[in-house]
Chain A
Amino acid sequence: KNQVEQSPQSLIILEGKNCTLQCNYTVSPFSNLRWYKQDTGRGPVSLTIMTFSENTKSNGRYTATLDADTKQSSLHITASQLSDSASYICVVYTSGTYKYIFGTGTRLKVLA
């Protein structure tokens, strides 16, 4: 069964600290993996997208990694800011069913 699991479910960190969010997937065939940031009540905003051959991609303070062999991805946030408080969603696209499989998200709260 195609599934995307994220951990932790929620996370609280202090401003300025780094954190890493995890995404494990069992989706096959794999096409690409995206990380989105979603503020409460707003639409998801794309942070990174990686295909099978890419193992690292950065977008400012956000760095995503992908290990296609172990089917794991991580999102590392450096020097966190209060505005990083949001849900972070991992989404895997499978060309098998032409569908996007969403993870349940990690809710991050950054405290001053």
Chain B
Amino acid sequence: DTEVTQTPKHLVMGMTNKKSLKCEQHMGHRAMYWYKQKAKKPPELMFVYSYEKLSINESVPSRFSPECPNSSLLNLHLHALQPEDSALYLCASSPRDNYGYTFGSGTRLTVV
């Protein structure tokens, strides 16, 4: 298995909703990442988990809450989002040497 799987592919949520994005990989990668990408812009790093521990938080608002329950799973919990949070959310993973950095296909999030 050489894929990073993200679910759901599309999500529409209200500003008072609580939802979660899920990311899964079975390549044995020990680093996992969340990115946010707005249209026609490069991905922006949000969080990095290394060996299931949060190692980088790029000053992301607390309405985004990451969780890494095990080495294969990465979640992003969403609460009280704003319309400007609408974007493509990408998950990625890499082995320790960073050579095999792989992206998921993304979750298209719309906040209404």
Contact = CB atoms under 8 A, between A and B. Distances in A.
A44 B91 CA distance: 10
Interface in A12-26: none
A89 B42 contact: yes
B27 to A, nearest CB: 13
Nearest to A99: B45
A65 to B, nearest CB: 19
A42 B40 CA distance: 12
Q: Which bracket fits the contact residues of B?
A: 20 to 34
Given A32-B98, A46-B101, A41 B43 contact: no
B42 A31 contact: no
Contacts of A45: 103
Contact of A43 (B40, B42, B98, B105): B105
Interface in A41-82: 41-46, 49
A34 B108 CA distance: 24
A7 interface: no
Interface in B6-61: 6, 40-43, 45, 56
A32 B100 CA distance: 11
Given A31-B98, A32-B99, A93-B98, A100 B45 contact: yes
Interface of B: 4, 6, 40-43, 45, 56, 88, 90, 92, 98-99, 101-106, 108
The 10 closest A-B pairs by CB, nearest first: A102-B42, A43-B103, A43-B105, A43-B106, A44-B103, A43-B104, A42-B105, A43-B90, A104-B42, A93-B98
